[in-house]
Amino acid sequence: MLYEPISVFDMLKIGVGPSSSHTLGPWRAAERFIKELKAKGVLNTVSSIKVVLYGSLAKTGVGHGTDIAVQLGLCGFDPVTFDVAQIIPAVNNIAQHKKILLDGVQETGFDPAADISFLFTETLPYHSNGLTFLATLDNGEAISETYYSIGGGFVKKEGEEAAPDASVSLPFPIDDAADLLKWCIKTGLAINEIVYENEQAWRSEAQIREGILKIWQVMKDCVYRGCHTAGILPGGLEVRRRAAALNKKLTGNAAYNNYEEWVASIKRGGDSFKYTLDWVSCFALAVNEENASFGRVVTAPTNGSAGVIPAVLHYYSIFCNDAGSREDSEEKIIKFLMTASEIGSIFKKESTISAAMGGCQAEIGVSSSMAAAALTEAMGGTQKQALMAAEIAMEHHLGMTCDPIGGLVQIPCIERNTMGAIKAITASQLALQSTPDFARVSLDNVIKTMWDTAQDMNFKYKETADGGLAVHVPLSLPEC
């Protein structure tokens, strides 16, 4: 297995919806291509540029905003900071004038309708999510590069053999769950403490804290915004946003002016099972309705599954976390996200977090597993119980297909986040009430099973919109 150190900030990325593999990944690939042209010293001589999308990127590219993402990436916009309200105006401007400003400096003729090609029937061997950029220079020379969006916003260039951070030496190298448990037993450290020690190979303690709290802030902003935004989701399916109506129903006539006051009003409603269940669903719906609307979300580990961890983390912070001070509460949030990220990184190394490779088990299943482990440790569970919770969560997502109706990240994607969140909480509760030493299935066993299942799964159930609900629900949408 190739040594691949993965940071918390690799697994939890701030970006733009609706898809990490079809939006964020292609966006980053376009940025990389521009950087390579700059490194060669030829950016200012580019006379034309074309983009070719293969396989799953072609089949569901329009519904997932792949064509939009590559244009924004070529312009040099950063998905972490770019004003999401300007996405549609920016691409409309390119289409209207048939010109694109590469990296914001080099104006080049570009007609999205003609210069972005969708090869629906052609898939590159390495990965279903392949895309090629071709730049023609003033002197007639052509430069092309092929990239693969391999899930979770990760991008690999054709021919790359080593991970970008392969030179980083971690004090506790981890390839699988057995490695993680070995280090926990040997040191007596909790999972989040192991992750914290490893993370310092990349950045300082202050940077780690600041970065994770920024991720948490984006999650909070996304949940709050989603819970207060009504309307119809874009794309033509006419899907109504539900989180705002559910929030209004649950909060009743409560008055509040910001996130903190809103959370206080939620807490005043009690902690009955039904009330809590409704809120977990509301939190998850809110995030993925934002995601479907090209909103800013945290890829955790993907955009299609971005609602699971924020929903479970809000469940924990609102209904379970009794920390008195803000600092104590923030420490618990940081630990939660570090544990979640490590579980996600193990899935990426041993299997996949790409729905185009493994179906929705690779997205909702992995996010549910991440959340289950993190919640278990946050609730006082042992390292073995946390890994057991991760196993339970994934075990009951095995075989889940990815069949987006109309190629949009809406049906069944949004509701699946509510299910993934609830399964994570249930898995955590089961693990906390169990003795892991008697468990017959390990986390590594279930990850290996997930990978075998992914390889056996028919291609039409892997984010192509060629099977499942995508072909059994009548639509009046134009073809992607």
Q: Is residue 376 part of a domain?
A: yes
pLDDT per residue as tens digits for the range 343-370: 999 999 999 999 999 999 999 999 999 9
Give CA–CA dist 57/379, Å, rounded. Answer: 40
Res 480: pLDDT: 33
- 288 lies in the same domain as 252: yes
Res 413: pLDDT: 97
Say if residue 162's pLDDT is above 60.
no
In 3D space, the residue among 147, 130, 146, 128 whose CA is nearest the CA of residue 402 turns out to be 128
- 353 lies in the same domain as 272: yes
- 227 lies in the same domain as 307: yes
pLDDT per residue as tens digits for the range 371-409: 999 999 999 999 999 999 999 999 999 999 999 999 999
Average pLDDT (244-272) is: 96
Q: Is residue 92 part of a domain?
A: yes
pLDDT classification of 328: cutoffs 50, 70, 90: confident
Q: Is residue 296 part of a domain?
A: yes
Which one of 127, 157, 187 terminates a domain? 157
Say if residue 478's pLDDT is above 70.
no
Give CA–CA dist 28/158, Å, rounded. Answer: 14
- 188 lies in the same domain as 149: no
Q: Is residue 1 part of a domain?
A: no
Which one of 107, 124, 157 terminates a domain? 157
Domain residue limits at 314: 177-472
- 77 lies in the same domain as 224: no
Q: Tokens in use for 66? A: 């792949």
Res 327: pLDDT: 75
- 184 lies in the same domain as 97: no
* Local structure of 221: helix, strand or coil: helix
Res 2: pLDDT: 64
Res 479: pLDDT: 41
Q: Is residue 49 part of a domain?
A: yes
Residue 248 neighbours by CB under 8 Å, 6+ apart: none
Q: Is residue 429 part of a domain?
A: yes
In 3D space, the residue among 366, 304, 307, 373 whose CA is nearest the CA of residue 335 turns out to be 373
Average pLDDT (229-244) is: 96
Say if residue 1's pLDDT is above 80.
no
- 198 lies in the same domain as 150: no
Q: Which residue has the tokens 């999401």?
A: 84
Q: What ranges in 132-190 are assigned the alpha helix state H?
A: 177-187
Give the 3-state secondary structure percentages of the chain, helix then strand then coil, rounded to 5: 55, 10, 35
What is the CATH classification number for the domain harbouring 24? 3.30.1330.90
- 77 lies in the same domain as 149: yes
Q: Which helix (H) or strand (E) holds 136?
A: strand 130-137
3-state SS string over 49-106? EEEEEEHHHHHCHHHHCHHHHHHHHHCCCCCCCCCHHHHHHHHHHHHHHCEEEECCCE
- 152 lies in the same domain as 255: no
* Concatenated DSSP letters of 292-358: HTT-EEEESS-STTTTHHHHHHHHIIIII----SHHHHHHHHHHHHHHHHHHHHHHHHHS---HHHH
- 296 lies in the same domain as 439: yes
- 140 lies in the same domain as 190: no
Number of structural domains the chain divides into: 2
pLDDT per residue as tens digits for the range 173-212: 999 999 999 999 999 999 999 999 999 999 999 999 999 9
Q: Which residues pair with 100 in a beta bridge?
A: 108
Which one of 157, 189, 208 terminates a domain? 157
Q: Is residue 478 part of a domain?
A: no
Res 168: pLDDT: 87
Give CA–CA dist 195/356, Å, rounded. Answer: 28
Q: Tokens in use for 254? A: 């409560």
Res 476: pLDDT: 59
Q: How far is CA 256 from CA 113, 246, 264, in A?
A: 46, 16, 9
- Global pTM reads 0.93
Tally of residues, the chain = 480
What mean pLDDT, rounded, does the chain reach? Answer: 94
- 134 lies in the same domain as 193: no
